[in-house]
A and B are shown apart, each in its own frame.
Chain A
């Protein structure tokens, strides 16, 4: 039996080896009428849900814009397993093996950072979809992104809080989450500038996966803050807000774009009504022609409301196509130069202009939860 199994396994591997060799014979050169765009996203592992949503956006964009410079755009999709080492090897694989001209991805800043050195050394531009950590594009001429970054989002929420009369704010951050730490830091800096040095009365920390926040909340209740800024993962945040209301804290909660998922409302129920958070996209504010097309097609294709992640991924693809078009070339360095000068590119999340770091300059939408639904309340443009 054991022998038979070995024979079967060995033959399975041998067959695999043969099929594997067949795939590598494709030639790629300037004359080819296909332009390859690599997509590396977490399609398995912890971040698979986010990766899948972004893949939808990119696939939809590819369906609506299948050609550039008269050539067909081919997506080469690869899974990075939500693992940094895999993210680095898969980025190298897409560039070396598949000879992609532009790389899109990834969901998750740390996964994108792992690919940073590779795109820099092989001089292939990459466009991040929803990696908000400033370090992704800092000191890297070949990394760009479609989403706004933590400093901007933190500042937007600080301005919003100040505008609505908050003068004393407590921060509760998910300290093991780079996104939450970044947001909290820039919220703090911006708010102190607006309301004075004593305006942040407390900075409390919790860990990913925590379920009980009563110690933090009892402490904060005694300080009577006007508002509480609590960036973090949606499950923990919803539980946090629920427990705060049970303790009788009336202060409004502010947060970031991670809250925009149905699970946040499912977990939080009536208690999360009235929270405010910033995000990249809302259909009411979606005024561009591209946005209308995106919304119609998305509903047709996937039967459901599009999320901001899909919209950002869609825009990342558009930035790439726009860059190739303006470069009028399939040379990666020329495409990089063109992407770096992206200006007023019309996408789903508004007009995108990239600054000298490769980060977009664009406004943020502020949303709330009303009657169990996300509702648009404000739009903050960059000055």
Chain B
């Protein structure tokens, strides 16, 4: 049975990776841990964005707004009560929430649910739009969220931001959340819902003719996407230990758009790959920021900021030559991996012939 084999292999991989995260947490320095965590968090948000944009084919740019909801929920409810007067020094915290303190996991879930609720509310009118119009509407929505946060000072501390969120630079914790997200979304995509999403992506009229409830499925995809974006945003907040509205400018959404486009719209493993390449790759490119001495002379091009030039050039090359991202809509599956291990050269030849 192929399915059974894949399931067992996946379970083994998860356990091995969890072991690796345990190792990473105790053995590696805080810089590497931070990069690993950032990769994982960006992978969660990339995955969530892929549900609407890649699988259901609805071009939404509201991710920064959903992240903001999650991050602020965690920010507001996890700051220790005795530190709150210090943080809210301009406008005192609203007495309704001033004494509520939650553990991080609960705040994460509440943040995710809140994001999903908001997604439901705005999804009802907005998901009737298609293509560019939906993109503009969701972009506008994420700006609305940010401006609400800026002005609701007694809840969010306005532009001053929230500090002293208990820091969470724990690879195990974040790995477990990422694993749950991955498994959930992989299972969703392979269920009848996932097939309905893909049908909607390919052709809405045909999908509707086949008896798929367009509104229900679009809304579901949007809410699930918002839920995980909220969780990802919450983790982002705890990793940094501080949140402020300027974090969640619409440009943040483009970060994740970049990740899913690079990884492949409509590929779960592609999103994971994209998140790792963009985050770790950008850190890795710091070698271009450091001064370089070649044959005793300083090369003036190697100065802080040069890596961004290199990064952009690499991106352009990638997009030119892999027009559908690295993975396209394909996935890394166990059968492909096994075929690759058996015959590494033949694997690529066969694929080349199939194209």
Contacts and interface: CB of A to CB of B under 8 A. Distances in A.
B321 A96 contact: no
Nearest to B291: A77
B163 interface: yes
A217 interface: no
Contact of A89 (B167, B283, B317): B283
A79 B167 CA distance: 23
Contacts of B290: 23
Contacts of A32: none
Contacts of B89: 134-135
A113 B242 contact: yes
B163 A113 contact: yes
A138 B86 contact: yes
User: Which residue of A92, A95, A182 has the most chain B CB atoms within 10 A of its CB atom?
Assistant: A92
A93 interface: yes
B304 A43 contact: yes
Contact of B90 (A9, A139, A185): A185
B330 to A, nearest CB: 16
A5 B163 contact: no
Given A9-B317, A78-B289, A176-B150, A182 B160 contact: yes
Nearest to B158: A181
A251 to B, nearest CB: 25
Given A16-B287, A114-B242, A77 B304 contact: yes
Contacts of A118: 30
Interface of A is mostly: helix
Contacts of B86: 135, 138-139
Interface in A92-120: 92-93, 95-97, 110, 113-114, 116-118
Nearest to B285: A16
Interface string B7-42: 000000000000000000000011110110010000
Instruction: Please tell me the size bucket of the interface on B.
Output: 35 or more
B247 interface: yes
Contacts of A116: 163, 241-242
A219 interface: no
B161 A92 contact: no
A110 B246 contact: yes
A82 to B, nearest CB: 10
A351 interface: no
A181 B161 CA distance: 11
Interface in B137-174: 147, 150-151, 158-161, 163-164, 167
A25 interface: no
A121 B170 CA distance: 14
A191 to B, nearest CB: 15
Given A134-B89, A138-B86, A207-B150, 10 more contacts: A84-B240, A84-B247, A92-B31, A110-B246, A113-B163, A116-B242, A118-B30, A121-B167, A139-B164, A180-B159
Interface of A: 2, 5-6, 9, 16, 19-20, 23, 43-44, 48, 77-79, 81, 84-85, 88-89, 92-93, 95-97, 110, 113-114, 116-118, 121-122, 133-135, 138-139, 175-178, 180-182, 185, 205, 207
Interface of B: 29-32, 34-35, 38, 83, 86-87, 89-90, 147, 150-151, 158-161, 163-164, 167, 236, 239-242, 244-247, 283-284, 286-287, 289-290, 304-305, 307-308, 314, 317, 321
12 contacts: A77-B304, A81-B308, A84-B240, A88-B34, A96-B30, A97-B29, A135-B160, A138-B86, A138-B163, A175-B158, A178-B244, A180-B159
Closest 4 pairs (CB-CB, A-B): A96-B31, A92-B31, A96-B29, A79-B304
